[in-house]
Amino acid sequence: MLQFFSRYKFFAIVLLILSVIIITVIYTILKPVKILPVYQPNDVNAELVDTTIQYVKKYHTIADFKLTNQNGKTITQQDYANKIYVADFFFTTCQTICPVMTNHMAEIQEELYNDEEVLLLSHTVMPETDTVAQLKKYALEKGVNDAKWNLVTGDKKQIYDLARKSYLAAKDNPYQKSDLIHTENFVLVDTKKRIRGFYDGTDPLAIETLLEDIQTLKKEE
Protein backbone atom coordinates (compact mmCIF):
# COMPACT_ATOMS: atom_id res chain seq x y z
CA MET A 1 0.00 0.00 0.00
CA LEU A 2 2.80 2.43 0.91
CA GLN A 3 4.54 1.59 -2.36
CA PHE A 4 1.30 2.43 -4.23
CA PHE A 5 1.05 5.91 -2.63
CA SER A 6 4.77 6.47 -3.13
CA ARG A 7 4.49 5.61 -6.81
CA TYR A 8 1.58 7.99 -7.44
CA LYS A 9 2.60 10.76 -5.03
CA PHE A 10 3.71 13.07 -7.85
CA PHE A 11 0.44 12.66 -9.75
CA ALA A 12 -1.56 13.28 -6.56
CA ILE A 13 0.28 16.57 -5.97
CA VAL A 14 -0.26 17.65 -9.58
CA LEU A 15 -3.95 16.75 -9.35
CA LEU A 16 -4.29 18.73 -6.10
CA ILE A 17 -2.67 21.81 -7.64
CA LEU A 18 -4.88 21.58 -10.72
CA SER A 19 -7.95 21.26 -8.51
CA VAL A 20 -7.02 24.41 -6.59
CA ILE A 21 -6.45 26.32 -9.83
CA ILE A 22 -9.76 25.15 -11.32
CA ILE A 23 -11.70 26.03 -8.16
CA THR A 24 -10.05 29.48 -8.05
CA VAL A 25 -10.89 30.18 -11.71
CA ILE A 26 -14.50 29.09 -11.24
CA TYR A 27 -14.84 31.28 -8.13
CA THR A 28 -13.39 34.26 -9.99
CA ILE A 29 -15.77 33.76 -12.91
CA LEU A 30 -18.84 33.32 -10.73
CA LYS A 31 -17.97 36.05 -8.21
CA PRO A 32 -20.22 39.06 -8.91
CA VAL A 33 -18.41 42.19 -10.06
CA LYS A 34 -19.20 45.16 -7.83
CA ILE A 35 -20.88 47.99 -9.72
CA LEU A 36 -21.69 51.25 -7.97
CA PRO A 37 -25.26 52.54 -8.24
CA VAL A 38 -26.11 55.65 -10.25
CA TYR A 39 -28.05 57.95 -7.94
CA GLN A 40 -31.03 59.97 -9.09
CA PRO A 41 -32.88 62.72 -7.17
CA ASN A 42 -35.75 60.31 -6.58
CA ASP A 43 -33.34 57.96 -4.75
CA VAL A 44 -32.18 60.55 -2.21
CA ASN A 45 -33.72 61.90 0.99
CA ALA A 46 -36.16 64.56 -0.20
CA GLU A 47 -34.76 67.04 2.36
CA LEU A 48 -31.55 67.18 0.32
CA VAL A 49 -33.21 67.70 -3.05
CA ASP A 50 -34.77 70.82 -4.51
CA THR A 51 -38.52 70.39 -4.94
CA THR A 52 -38.24 71.06 -8.68
CA ILE A 53 -36.32 67.82 -9.30
CA GLN A 54 -37.45 65.44 -6.55
CA TYR A 55 -39.44 63.44 -9.11
CA VAL A 56 -36.45 62.77 -11.41
CA LYS A 57 -35.70 59.04 -11.73
CA LYS A 58 -33.08 58.96 -14.50
CA TYR A 59 -30.55 60.93 -16.52
CA HIS A 60 -29.50 63.17 -13.61
CA THR A 61 -26.05 64.73 -14.03
CA ILE A 62 -24.10 67.54 -12.41
CA ALA A 63 -24.90 70.88 -14.02
CA ASP A 64 -22.24 72.98 -15.69
CA PHE A 65 -20.68 75.56 -13.40
CA LYS A 66 -18.34 78.54 -13.41
CA LEU A 67 -16.66 79.31 -10.08
CA THR A 68 -13.38 80.73 -8.78
CA ASN A 69 -10.75 78.77 -6.86
CA GLN A 70 -8.23 79.63 -4.16
CA ASN A 71 -5.81 81.04 -6.74
CA GLY A 72 -8.34 83.28 -8.45
CA LYS A 73 -8.59 80.88 -11.40
CA THR A 74 -11.94 80.26 -13.07
CA ILE A 75 -12.99 76.64 -12.59
CA THR A 76 -15.60 75.05 -14.84
CA GLN A 77 -16.88 71.58 -15.63
CA GLN A 78 -14.11 71.37 -18.25
CA ASP A 79 -11.50 71.23 -15.49
CA TYR A 80 -13.17 68.00 -14.34
CA ALA A 81 -13.92 66.58 -17.79
CA ASN A 82 -13.23 62.83 -18.00
CA LYS A 83 -12.25 62.79 -14.32
CA ILE A 84 -13.66 61.02 -11.29
CA TYR A 85 -14.03 63.52 -8.47
CA VAL A 86 -15.17 63.93 -4.88
CA ALA A 87 -17.22 67.02 -4.06
CA ASP A 88 -18.36 68.56 -0.80
CA PHE A 89 -19.69 71.79 0.74
CA PHE A 90 -18.11 73.70 3.63
CA PHE A 91 -17.10 77.14 4.86
CA THR A 92 -13.76 78.20 6.27
CA THR A 93 -15.00 79.56 9.60
CA CYS A 94 -17.10 76.49 10.43
CA GLN A 95 -16.11 75.03 13.80
CA THR A 96 -18.33 71.93 13.81
CA ILE A 97 -18.15 69.30 11.05
CA CYS A 98 -16.07 71.23 8.51
CA PRO A 99 -12.61 70.80 10.10
CA VAL A 100 -13.14 67.04 10.29
CA MET A 101 -14.41 66.93 6.71
CA THR A 102 -11.47 68.97 5.46
CA ASN A 103 -9.00 66.74 7.28
CA HIS A 104 -10.59 63.68 5.69
CA MET A 105 -10.51 65.32 2.26
CA ALA A 106 -6.82 65.98 2.88
CA GLU A 107 -6.36 62.28 3.64
CA ILE A 108 -8.03 61.40 0.34
CA GLN A 109 -5.73 63.86 -1.40
CA GLU A 110 -2.70 62.19 0.17
CA GLU A 111 -3.92 58.69 -0.68
CA LEU A 112 -4.53 59.63 -4.33
CA TYR A 113 -1.79 62.25 -4.66
CA ASN A 114 -0.29 60.80 -7.84
CA ASP A 115 -3.54 59.51 -9.31
CA GLU A 116 -4.33 61.82 -12.22
CA GLU A 117 -7.74 60.24 -12.76
CA VAL A 118 -9.21 61.58 -9.51
CA LEU A 119 -9.72 65.19 -8.37
CA LEU A 120 -11.35 66.96 -5.41
CA LEU A 121 -13.77 69.91 -5.32
CA SER A 122 -14.92 71.81 -2.21
CA HIS A 123 -17.58 74.53 -2.48
CA THR A 124 -17.96 77.23 0.14
CA VAL A 125 -21.55 77.90 1.20
CA MET A 126 -20.54 81.35 2.47
CA PRO A 127 -19.09 83.04 -0.62
CA GLU A 128 -19.75 86.48 0.86
CA THR A 129 -16.98 85.88 3.44
CA ASP A 130 -14.96 83.11 1.78
CA THR A 131 -13.16 85.30 -0.72
CA VAL A 132 -10.31 84.11 -2.90
CA ALA A 133 -7.85 85.44 -0.33
CA GLN A 134 -9.64 83.62 2.51
CA LEU A 135 -9.76 80.37 0.54
CA LYS A 136 -6.04 80.68 -0.26
CA LYS A 137 -5.20 81.17 3.40
CA TYR A 138 -7.31 78.14 4.31
CA ALA A 139 -5.76 76.08 1.51
CA LEU A 140 -2.26 76.81 2.75
CA GLU A 141 -3.24 75.91 6.31
CA LYS A 142 -4.73 72.59 5.19
CA GLY A 143 -2.01 71.58 2.75
CA VAL A 144 -4.18 71.74 -0.35
CA ASN A 145 -2.46 70.62 -3.55
CA ASP A 146 -3.62 73.16 -6.15
CA ALA A 147 -3.30 70.61 -8.97
CA LYS A 148 -5.53 68.14 -7.17
CA TRP A 149 -8.04 70.04 -5.07
CA ASN A 150 -10.01 73.19 -5.80
CA LEU A 151 -11.71 75.23 -3.08
CA VAL A 152 -14.25 77.32 -4.94
CA THR A 153 -16.34 80.41 -4.33
CA GLY A 154 -18.63 82.41 -6.58
CA ASP A 155 -22.25 83.38 -7.10
CA LYS A 156 -24.23 82.28 -4.06
CA LYS A 157 -27.32 81.19 -5.99
CA GLN A 158 -25.22 79.10 -8.35
CA ILE A 159 -23.50 77.34 -5.43
CA TYR A 160 -26.79 76.72 -3.65
CA ASP A 161 -28.38 75.39 -6.84
CA LEU A 162 -25.41 73.06 -7.29
CA ALA A 163 -25.78 71.85 -3.71
CA ARG A 164 -29.49 71.01 -3.97
CA LYS A 165 -30.13 70.52 -7.69
CA SER A 166 -26.90 68.80 -8.74
CA TYR A 167 -25.02 67.20 -5.83
CA LEU A 168 -28.12 66.64 -3.65
CA ALA A 169 -26.04 67.43 -0.58
CA ALA A 170 -27.70 70.26 1.36
CA LYS A 171 -30.89 71.00 3.25
CA ASP A 172 -33.04 74.04 2.69
CA ASN A 173 -33.25 76.45 5.63
CA PRO A 174 -36.94 77.37 6.03
CA TYR A 175 -36.12 79.98 8.65
CA GLN A 176 -33.63 81.89 6.53
CA LYS A 177 -34.40 81.75 2.83
CA SER A 178 -31.03 83.18 1.83
CA ASP A 179 -29.20 80.28 3.48
CA LEU A 180 -28.97 76.51 3.38
CA ILE A 181 -27.69 73.83 5.72
CA HIS A 182 -24.81 71.92 4.17
CA THR A 183 -24.38 68.30 5.16
CA GLU A 184 -21.36 66.13 5.92
CA ASN A 185 -21.79 64.33 2.60
CA PHE A 186 -18.89 63.67 0.27
CA VAL A 187 -20.28 63.02 -3.22
CA LEU A 188 -18.53 60.69 -5.67
CA VAL A 189 -18.98 61.76 -9.30
CA ASP A 190 -17.99 59.69 -12.33
CA THR A 191 -16.55 60.78 -15.68
CA LYS A 192 -20.07 61.11 -17.09
CA LYS A 193 -21.00 63.65 -14.37
CA ARG A 194 -23.27 61.14 -12.58
CA ILE A 195 -23.47 60.68 -8.80
CA ARG A 196 -22.13 57.25 -7.81
CA GLY A 197 -21.99 57.48 -4.03
CA PHE A 198 -22.61 59.48 -0.85
CA TYR A 199 -20.27 59.19 2.15
CA ASP A 200 -20.21 60.68 5.64
CA GLY A 201 -17.22 63.01 5.49
CA THR A 202 -16.85 62.89 9.27
CA ASP A 203 -16.61 59.08 9.48
CA PRO A 204 -13.18 57.43 8.97
CA LEU A 205 -14.82 54.14 7.96
CA ALA A 206 -16.88 55.92 5.31
CA ILE A 207 -13.68 57.44 3.92
CA GLU A 208 -12.18 53.96 3.61
CA THR A 209 -15.29 52.84 1.73
CA LEU A 210 -15.05 55.91 -0.51
CA LEU A 211 -11.44 55.10 -1.42
CA GLU A 212 -12.43 51.51 -2.21
CA ASP A 213 -15.34 52.69 -4.33
CA ILE A 214 -13.07 55.02 -6.27
CA GLN A 215 -10.97 52.01 -7.29
CA THR A 216 -14.13 50.11 -8.22
CA LEU A 217 -15.30 53.05 -10.32
CA LYS A 218 -11.92 53.29 -12.06
CA LYS A 219 -12.26 49.69 -13.22
CA GLU A 220 -15.73 50.43 -14.55
CA GLU A 221 -14.62 53.57 -16.38
pLDDT at 59: 96
Which architecture characterizes domain 41-220 according to CATH?
A: 3-Layer(aba) Sandwich (3.40)
Find all residues with CB under 8 Å of 119, minimum gap 6, and list them: 79, 80, 83, 84, 85, 86, 148, 149, 150
**62 touches 79 (CB < 8 A):** no
Does 98 belong to an annotated binding site?
yes
Whether the pLDDT of residue 218 is over 60: the answer is yes
Residue ranges per structural domain of the chain: 41-220
What pairing do the DSSP bridges indicate for beta strands 170-172 and 180-182? antiparallel
Known binding residue 94? Answer is yes
pLDDT category of residue 2 using cuts at 50, 70 and 90: very low
**Was 60 annotated as part of a binding site?**
no
pTM of the model: 0.84
Q: Is the pLDDT of residue 27 over 70?
A: no
10-24, 117-131, 158-172: the lowest-pLDDT one: 10-24
